[in-house]
Structure 1
Amino acid sequence: MSSLDPITMATQLATFDVQPFQMRYQMQADKYQAQIAALGKVESALRDFRNAVNDMNSTGSSIIKNTATTTQDGFFSASADANALSGSYQIFVEQIASAHQASAGMPADMDANTEIPTTGELTFTVNGEQMVIDLSTVDTDGDGKATMSDLVKAINNNTNPGVNATLVRSNGQTHLMLSSTETAAANRVEVSATGTGAAWFEDGFANLNTITEPKDAVIWLGAQNSGLKLTNASNTFEGIIDGVDITVTKAQTTGDAAIGLNVGADAEATKEQVNKFIEAYNTLITALDEHTALGGEDQKRGALANDPTLRSIESQLSGILRGDFNGMRLADVGISINREGKMELDNDKFTEAQKNNSAALEQMFNGKGNLLDSIDSMMEPYLKFSSGLLSSRKESLQSNIDRIDDKQAQLERKYDMAYDRYLKQFTQMNNIMTQMNQTMSMFG
């Protein structure tokens, strides 16, 4: 009579006890994990589509793209947003804005290591705002001395009203340069040193050498001296023409002709934007189709087949896209949904709609309660980060997985108990068989 291996037998029987449950739990966990992954991909595609929608329906943006072009380069550039009205204008650039830049009248032998007074104050004023530096605090290493380099750091590291300091070396000489951080005539840098006991230091700041005068930008809407004069603190004039920003880069010479500025619809940019919208929608539909597929001979069943949440998304989107907005439908401007549920663009029909009815085209897409706003409102409940329907679905599925993990842990304990029981039984059986074999050998 052969002996038994108690460990092998206990392992096999304990495994048989828990194996069906392990397989069932693993299948459930894999199913839930696949659904979470699929929901994540659908959510990403839905968010991308919503971003495309918002890019065409945010402040200053619409389905219609405008462009601004100039008849001469080099003096100013312009950009036009969705609010810009078509038109032709004349612009003359008289003066560009500049920041104040000056050098302090310090001794010729001054350099970065020149010691400065450690008593008194240095006061900067820019556009009515002040910064006062206590010179006793400029010393950074605690040796009781402060240098010109320490002073530059103190100026720049302070919460100042808009002044920068730097040391510039030229022809073997070091200069302390002061610059306003913003352009405009109002941003002149004024500085004074008091109570230092060092005449050379106080005189240096009392006698600034202006290198660049602070100036406002000046343009004329029309010809110089006969049009509308406009001034601005910076070189960018925002909204002087509705929806148009103008940035000047170079002043013209007195007597030059004004430069033409043409504002109008950009048909190609508008079509490109629509194509991005269509592409994002089709990517979303592809994701929905992939993960909700019922499966068949040539098709894999999707992880979210027959999922009611995704069916609702498709149904709501389809209803909106086939709807009527301000008396127009997408089909009227060449945008249709094919048999596969994908969006297509008829370029000729869309171009015709742009030419003949651009205002109606914009009204259909943009504005409260119209196409893009309706799509955004429909997607909002699904995409909220903390309480969105898709996030809630994923959290629910993860909770199911966590419960399965708990069951798996219980199953491991059940396996250990069964293993110990079987090991004890087979060990006893093996001992009995060994005794029987020994007894039989005595009669052999």
Structure 2
Amino acid sequence: MASNAITAPTYDPTSTAKALADKYISGAQTQLTNQTKAASDTAKALSTLSGAISTFQTSLASLAGIGHSMLAQSATLSDTTLGTATAKSTATPGTYSVFVKQVATPSQLAYNVADYDLSGEQQPDGTYQPGMLKLNLADPADLAATPVTINVDLAAADADHNGTLTARELAAAINQSGDNAGKVTAGIVTIGTGPTATSRLVLTSTKTGAANTISLDTSGVLNANLKTALDAAPTVTSTAQDAIVNFGDPSDPTTEVKQASNTFTNIDGVAFTATKAQAPGATPITLTVGSDTSGTTANVQAFVDAYNKLKSALDGLVSAGDPDTNTAAGAFAHDAGVTALRNRVIDLLRPSGVLSLASYGITAARDGTITLDSTRLQKQLAVNPTGLDTLIGSASASAPSGVSGALNTYLNTWTKGTTGTTGQIKQRTDANTTLQTRLTSRQADLDTRYDAAYQRYLKQYTALQALQSTMQNNSSMFSALFTSDSSN
């Protein structure tokens, strides 16, 4: 006899509960996921926008900020073996007479040293007290000057505490002294090889000038052998002295400048560094300050590159995308504010007045980027050299002018705002951060709803599975019973 028992479908309560819980929150989760991604994309885009504007404003400050000019100046020497010179854009063109009487040098002394047994300075507690060494920096000719003192604790110099102060430990202690801070460097030079080799402690002042002459005060050194070595006359490999330069007639003492450094800034906007002294009676060299056409071109090109980099970043943020090339839209594709920012930056390159960027070879391409025609730039500079600085102007916050001033002032409304702290970028960032916090809270609530639904469905379908199992067992029992009875 055929069985008429109905077989219930089998399923897994866990996967069924998960599928139903997923479906339960599906709509809300999709919406929340999209909103979370949009907020995250906005945060990244605001960071990109902030970085692009900041980079551009930094470039403006270096090119057209306070004390800067697009017009570069150069400083050349008639004899480059005697020194080097550079000029700021503010340097006045002209020629200057320079005579190098003396270059500044550091102090360098060498002492013959060895490894020293400190057992004679051992204390009852087992420590060693070899005393204190002092290094002084002072001009020996200036008796009224207060020397700079570097204290070296010789007990601490025995780094491994084995009772022997090695030459290298002594040098290390000098370098590591808290009073030193890089004023003097100490090193060990080994002369010879084998048993006859000797060690020299070489002390060098890191700064030039007579005021950095090194001398030792060994009155606090208790180890007799070390004191004897350091009291001996050192080998002077370099005598500290000041630089002396005449800016004018070298026979006129009123033109003489004496200082510790070899770099002189006595000519406004010019830095002259002496590298070699001239022989007495030699002819002074000529320092010439004039326009630097290649430097000016480089400055203008830097402005062009900085602007194009900013515009490229803005274009990417407001791009509508292109489905044909599978190019996604920018994060601010539908943001009127950022679009207005991009358009305003373009407009500010077209100043009112007779002069224009195009007259100096800075022209706009069809995509809005700008390029530089250096030949045209040089021709216009020959006709009107001051016009470029007037046109580009100053990015100074206190006295903005020209194109750079207009750009910097407008961009400040995004980075700083009217109060200096509440620009549009910060306002947008704060609002987006608040939104992200709310979305995170909503996600936590949705996760709680999901868990509750999952547990409810899991409980229901686990119970249903148990009921089906019981029903199937009963059905099988009845089927077996009736099949047995009919066979009798």
TM-superposed CA distance for 1:129, in Å, is 1.9
Equivalent residue for 1:124?
A: 135
> Deviations 1:129-178 (Å, cap 9, x if unpaired)?
24255656654444556455444333333214944443333343333333
Stretches of structure 1 that go unaligned for 5 or more consecutive residues are none
| Aligned counterpart in structure 1 of residue 191 of structure 2, from 170, 177, 183 | 170
| Aligned counterpart in structure 2 of residue 210 of structure 1, from 217, 232, 236 | 236
Closer, same or farther: CA 406–230 of 1 in aligned 2, 3 Å:
same
Equivalent residue for 2:8?
A: 3
Is it true that 1:351 corresponds to 2:378 in the alignment?
yes
Secondary structure of residue in 1 paired with 2:208 = coil
Provide the rounded CA distance (Å) in 2 between the counterparts of 1:430 and 1:143: 81
Provide the rounded CA distance (Å) in 1 between the counterparts of 2:132 and 2:16: 92
2:136 maps to a residue whose letter is T
Is it true that 1:288 corresponds to 2:303 in the alignment?
no
Closer, same or farther: CA 421–144 of 1 in aligned 2, 3 Å:
closer
Q: Which moved more, 1:406-415 or 1:141-150?
A: 141-150
State TM-score, norm by structure 1. Answer: 0.84
Closer, same or farther: CA 62–20 of 1 in aligned 2, 3 Å:
same
**What does 1:1-400 correspond to in 2, within 5 Å?**
1-4=6-9, 5=11, 7=13, 8-104=15-111, 110-113=113-116, 122-127=133-138, 128-131=146-149, 132-133=151-152, 139-142=158-161, 146-158=165-177, 159-160=179-180, 162-171=183-192, 172-194=197-219, 198=224, 201=227, 204-205=230-231, 207-222=233-248, 224-225=250-251, 228-237=255-264, 239-295=265-321, 298=324, 300-324=328-352, 328-367=355-394, 368-371=399-402, 372-383=404-415, 388-400=423-435
TM-superposed CA distance for 1:242, in Å, is 1.0
Closer, same or farther: CA 193–297 of 1 in aligned 2, 3 Å:
closer
Closer, same or farther: CA 86–112 of 1 in aligned 2, 3 Å:
farther
Closer, same or farther: CA 346–99 of 1 in aligned 2, 3 Å:
closer
Provide the rounded CA distance (Å) in 2 between the counterparts of 1:137 and 1:430: 81
Q: Which moved more, 1:11-20 or 1:80-89?
A: 11-20
> Deviations 1:415-439 (Å, cap 9, x if unpaired)?
3333333344445555665666645
Number of positions where the alignment pairs a residue of Structure 1 with one of Structure 2: 438
1:380 maps to a residue whose letter is N
Secondary structure of residue in 2 paired with 1:241 = coil
TM-superposed CA distance for 1:260, in Å, is 2.9
TM-superposed CA distance for 1:386, in Å, is 7.9
Provide the rounded CA distance (Å) in 2 between the counterparts of 1:415 and 1:160: 67
TM-superposed CA distance for 1:195, in Å, is 6.2
TM-superposed CA distance for 1:71, in Å, is 2.8
* 8 Å CA contact retained: 1:120, 1:193: no
Provide the rounded CA distance (Å) in 1 between the counterparts of 2:50 and 2:58: 12
State TM-score, norm by structure 2. Answer: 0.77
Provide the rounded CA distance (Å) in 1 between the counterparts of 2:56 and 2:220: 66
* 8 Å CA contact retained: 1:93, 1:248: yes
Secondary structure of residue in 1 paired with 2:70 = coil
| Aligned counterpart in structure 2 of residue 403 of structure 1, from 435, 438, 459 | 438
Equivalent residue for 2:457?
A: 422
Provide the rounded CA distance (Å) in 1 between the counterparts of 2:216 and 2:299: 53
Equivalent residue for 2:486?
A: none
Provide the rounded CA distance (Å) in 2 between the counterparts of 1:199 and 1:404: 77
Secondary structure of residue in 1 paired with 2:98 = strand
Report the RMSD for the aligned CA atoms in angstroms. 3.5
Provide the rounded CA distance (Å) in 1 between the counterparts of 2:450 and 2:383: 77
Q: Which has the larger radius of gyration?
A: 2
> Deviations 1:21-67 (Å, cap 9, x if unpaired)?
22222222222222333333333322222222122034543211122
1:415 maps to a residue whose letter is Y
Closer, same or farther: CA 114–11 of 1 in aligned 2, 3 Å:
closer
* 8 Å CA contact retained: 2:116, 2:164: no
TM-superposed CA distance for 1:79, in Å, is 0.8
> Deviations 1:82-115 (Å, cap 9, x if unpaired)?
11111223333222111122334x6xxx524466
